[in-house]
Amino acid sequence: MALYKIRLTLEWDETNQAYAVSSPDVPGLNTFGANLAEIRANVADALETLLEFMDSEGLARPSALQQPVDETKLETDLLVTVNTGIMVNT
């Protein structure tokens, strides 16, 4: 197993009540998930399938998937909701 850093784009799909997930770093990666745990599992599964296909067809892997990252130092972006206690009058 290897650890890769990829950017994901999540768009809420009201019809399916889940996020549609794609990656600007990995063309062809498309999946879904209703929460972060489901998204993580589905992205891993989709990546494995995509990499197997690329390898079997002799296609080059995207640059984001050519070199695993160091598992001792990770960087990530995280959206966090914080109550600032600031009241805004409208």
When divided into structural domains, the chain yields a total of: 1
Domain of 33?
Answer: 1-90
CATH number (domain holding residue 67): 3.30.160.250
H-type alpha helices, 4-76: 36-57
**Interacting residues of 87 by C-beta distance below 8 A, sequence separation 6+:** none
Segment 15-71, tens digit of pLDDT? 999 999 999 999 999 999 999 999 999 999 999 999 999 999 999 999 998 888 887
Short-list 37, 41, 30, 34, CA closest to 8: 30
Give 83's pLDDT tier (boundaries 50, 70, 90).
confident
> Tokens at residue 35, please?
């929460």
DSSP summary character for residue 70: P
Q: Is the pLDDT of residue 87 over 70?
A: no
